[in-house]
Amino acid sequence: MSAPIPYAEAVAEFEPVIGMEVHVELGTESKIFCGCPTAFGAPPNTQVCPVCLGLPGSMPVMNAMAIESTIRIGLALNCSIAEWCRMARKNYFYPDMPKDYQVSQYDEPLCVDGYLDVTVPTDDGPMVVRVGIERVHLEEDTGKLTHAGGATGRIHGADYSLVDYNRAGIPLVEIVTKPVTGTGALAPEVARAYVTELRDIMRGLGVSDVKMEEGSLRCDANVSLNLPGAEWGTRSETKNVNSLRSVERAVRSEIERQAGVLKSGGRVVQETRHFHEDTGVTTPGRSKEHAEDYRYFPEPDLVPIAPAREWVEELRRGLPEQPSVHRARLAQAWGIGDFEMATLVNAGVLELVEASVAAGVAPDAARKWWAGEFTRIANESGVEPASLAVTPADIARVEELIASGALNDKLARQVFEGVIAGEGTPDEVVAARGLAVVSDDGALLSAIDEALAAQPDVAEKIRGGKVQAAGAIVGAVMKATRGQADAGKVRELLLERLGVSDS
C-alpha cells in the first residue's frame, strides 16, 4: 500500500473532480407511504405499521407533502420539474429493508438539471463556484441496523444484529451534483461550502431539520484525480461523512490518498470508502467494481406523479429568500464585506452570529466571538461550533457584563470556557470562578506598590516624566491580579500614585 502524499504536492500534480450525493430526511409529520410519525429518538420499532414494515399485502400511499417538499427543493436548486414521472423499485436483499426493495426513483427523477452557486474564500478574495445539480429525487429511508459483538461494528462478524424500523419509510430526498471540475486545491472547501449552502437552503425552505449528527442530512463524497489534460480518473465514494468539517477533511484525505496511489504507479479502485472522524482518513468498504444490478422497474403499487404546472409555479412563487440574497442583506446590515461573510459561512457560524445579533449582541462582537474564540475551541475539540454549549443569550449576557465594566475581554473568555464546559450560566461561572474585575482601589494600590518596589528603576523613569514606561508596571499588576483588574483603572491609579499626569 502506498502512503498518502502531502496535500500541496497532491494538488500541484493532479486535478481533482468531485461529486456530492446528499440525502436529506424530510421533516414531514408522517412517513412517505403511511401515517406513522417521523419523530427522531423514539424507542425502537414503536413508530411502525403494516405498511412501513412491508407486511405481506400492505400497500404504499404517497405522502403529498413529500412530493411538495421535493419540488420546492428542486425549484430552490434551479431544477426543471418533471411533468410526469414514476417511482421505481430498487431491488436488493438487506435486513434493514422490510420489503427487500427500496421505493426510489430511477430514470424518471422528479427534478433535474439545476445548479447552486457557492462562495469560497481564497487569498484573492471570495470565489463563486457554480455546482451543477444532476437530479433531485424522492425515496424511502431504510431501517437502522445495530450490530452487536464483533470487532468492526459491521454485519460481518457480529454476534447478532438488531433492526429498528422507525426510520424505515421516512421520506428521503437525494440530491446528486454533476461532476465539479476546475476547483483545484479548493476542492475540499468547495465540497464543504456546497453542503453548507444546501443545508441552509433546506433550513430556509423548512423541509428538514438537516441535523448531520442525527443523520437527517447525510453526505457521500465522490473524488477522483487526473493529470492535467488527461481523462477523469476512477472515483471512490466516501460515506459516513457526518459533519460539515468532515466533508472538507474527507475530500482532502481522499485527494492525498489517491495521489499517493497514483504517484506510486498504482490504480485507484472503484469502491465505497468509510470516513473516520477520529483519524480523519478513509478506509475501504464495498468494492463497486462488480456493481450490483438493482433490477429497477416502475413501482406498480403507486400511480405516476404528474405535478400540475400551475401548482409548480405557485410553489416557485412561495419560495423563501435564497440564502445568497439573505447573506447580502445581512452583510449590508452588519457593515461587512464579501470576504468576512464568506469566512463566517465557511466556518459554519453565520446562523449562530445571526441568532446572537437577534438576541441583542452587537454584530461585530457576535462575529468576533463566533469566528474567533468559538471556532477555535470547536476545532480543537473536533466538533461543529453549533454544537458548543453556548447560547446567543449567554453571549448577550457576557457582552452586557463587559459593557458595565464587570468583565474585561480576557475574563469574558474564561467565562465562556466555563459555560462551554457546562459549569452553568455566565453569571454562575463568574460567581463560581470568582472572575469579577478587581475594582477595589485598596487591593489595586497595594499591588501597584508591590510592582513599584520590585522595579524601582522603572518607577524612577515614570516619576521623571517618562509616562510610556508605565506599561511595564501595569503589566506586572495585571499579572499579579491574574487579569482580573481593569488595565485602564490600574494605569490611572499608578499615575496618580506617582503624581504625574498622562498628558
Partner 1 sequence: MSTPLERDLIRQSAATLAEAIAEGEVSAREVTQAHLDRIAEVDGDVHAFLHVDAEGALATADAVDASRAAGDALGPLAGVPLALKDILAMKGVPTTCGSKILEGWRPPYDATVVERLRAAGIPILGKTNMDEFAMGSSTEHSAYGPTRNPWDLDRIPGGSGGGSAAAIASFEAPLAIGTDTGGSIRQPAAVTGTVGVKPTYGGVSRYGLVALASSLDQAGPCTRTVMDAALLHAVIGGHDPRDSTSIPDPMPDVVAAAARADVRGMRIGLVRELTGEGYQAGVEQRFREAVEILEHLGAEVVEVSCPHFEYALGAYYLILPSECSSNLARFDGMRYGLRVGDDGNASVEEVMSLTREAGFGPEVKRRIMLGTYALYSGYYDAYYGQAQKVRTLIQRDFEAAFAQCDVLVSPTAPTTAFRIGEKVDDPLAMYLNDVATIPVNMAGNCAMSLPVGLAPEDGLPVGLQVMAPPMADDRLYLVGGALEGALRDRWGHLLIEEVPSL
Looking at 22, 26, 32, 36, which residue binds Zn ion (CB under 5 A)? 36
Cell of 316: 416557485
Minimum distance from CB of 307 to Zn ion (Å)?
Answer: 25
Helix (H, G, I), strand (E, B) or coil at 138: strand
In this chain, which stretch among 49-57, 174-182, 274-282, 362-370 interacts with partner 1, using CB under 8 A?
A: 49-57
Cα radius of gyration rounded to whole Å, the chain: 29
Q: Is 418 in the site for partner 1 (CB under 8 A)?
A: no
Grid coordinates given for 402: 463587559
By C-beta, is 168 or 210 nearer to partner 1? 168
The SS3 call for residue 470 is helix
Q: State in angstroms the smallest separation of the CB of 30 from Zn ion.
A: 8
Q: Which stretch binds Zn ion (CB under 5 A): 31-39, 79-87, 259-267, 452-460?
A: 31-39
Q: Is 259 exposed, middle or buried (0-12, 13-18, 19+ CB in 10 A)?
A: buried
By CB under 8 A, is residue 84 in contact with partner 1? no
Strand order across the 111-122 sheet? 80-81, 111-122, 125-140, 171-177, 15-25, 217-226, 236-241, 271-275, 282-287
Residue 159 Cα distances to 143, 144, 417, angstroms: 19, 17, 43
Contact with partner 1 (CB under 8 A) among 1, 41, 43, 56: 56
CB of 38 to Zn ion, least distance (A): 10
Q: How far is the CB of 295 from partner 1 (least distance, A)?
A: 4
What's the number of CA atoms in the CB half-sphere (13 Å) around residue 84? 3
Q: CB burial class (10 A; 0-12, 13-18, 19+) of residue 310?
A: exposed
As a whole number of angstroms, the distance between CA 235 and CA 19 comes to: 9
- Choices 87-95, 117-125, 257-265, 444-452 (CB under 8 A): range interacting with partner 1: 87-95
- One symbol per residue from 291 to 310: x for binding partner 1 (CB under 8 A), - otherwise; what is it? --x-xxx--xxxx-------
Q: Which of partner 1, Zn ion, none interacts with 52 (beta carbon under 5 to 8 A by kind)?
A: Zn ion
B/e letters for 33-64, b = 16+ CB within 10 Å, e = fewer, are: bbebebeeeeeeeebbeebbbbeeebebebbe
Q: Are 253 and 274 in contact (CB under 8 A)?
A: no
Nearest approach in angstroms of CB 316 to partner 1 is 27
DSSP state of 370: I
* 155 secondary structure, DSSP code: S
DSSP state of 369: I
Q: Which lies closer to partner 1 via its Cβ, residue 298 or residue 483?
A: 298
Helix axes 309-317, 64-76, angle to 10 degrees: 60
Instruction: Tell me: does residue 380 bind partner 1 (CB under 8 A).
Output: no
The residue range among 60-68, 309-317, 361-369, 436-444 that interacts with partner 1, by the rule CB under 8 A, is 60-68
Residue 210 DSSP symbol: -
Q: Report the residue number, 10 or 34, with the smaller CB distance to Zn ion.
A: 34
Among 42, 49, 302, 362, binds Zn ion (CB under 5 A): 49
Site map 250..289 versus partner 1, x via CB under 8 A: ----------------------------------------
150 touches partner 1 (CB under 8 A): no
Q: Select the residue interacting with partner 1 from 78, 113, 126, 161 (CB under 8 A).
A: 161
383 binds, among Zn ion, partner 1, none (CB under 5 to 8 A by kind): none
Pick from 10, 52, 342, 401: which binds Zn ion (CB under 5 A)? 52
Among 3, 59, 128, 230, binds partner 1 (CB under 8 A): 59
Q: What is the dihedral of CA 33, 34, 36, 41, to 10 degrees?
A: -10
Among 136, 127, 139, 272, CA closest to 198: 136
89 binds partner 1 (CB under 8 A): yes
311 backbone dihedrals φ, ψ, rounded to 5°: -65, -45
36 binds, among Zn ion, partner 1, none (CB under 5 to 8 A by kind): Zn ion
Residue 401-430 contact track with Zn ion, rule CB under 5 A, x = bound? ------------------------------
Residue window 101-120: x/- pattern of binding to partner 1, with contact defined by CB under 8 A: x-------------------
Residues 6+ apart with CB under 8 A from 436: 406, 407, 411, 430, 484
Part in contact with Zn ion (CB under 5 A); list of ranges 51-59, 225-233, 302-310, 387-395: 51-59
Binding-site size, partner 1 (CB under 8 A): 31
Q: Is 10 in the site for Zn ion (CB under 5 A)?
A: no
Selection from partner 1, Zn ion, none that 234 binds (CB < 5 to 8 A by kind) is none
Among residues 201, 217, 193, 219, the alpha carbon closest in space to that of 72 is found at 201
Query: Of 100 and 214, which has the nearer Cβ to partner 1?
Result: 100
**Cβ distance to Zn ion smaller for residue 170 or 212:** 170
- Per rule CB under 5 A, is residue 77 in the interface with Zn ion? no
Q: Is 12 in the site for partner 1 (CB under 8 A)?
A: no
Q: Which amino acid is at 465?
A: G
Spatial contact of 72 and 319, defined as CB atoms under 8 Å apart: yes
> Interface with partner 1 includes 426 (CB under 8 A)?
no
Residues that bind Zn ion (CB under 5 A): 34, 36, 49, 51-52
Residues that bind partner 1 (CB under 8 A): 50, 53-62, 89, 91, 93, 95, 98-101, 155-156, 161, 163, 293, 295-297, 300-303
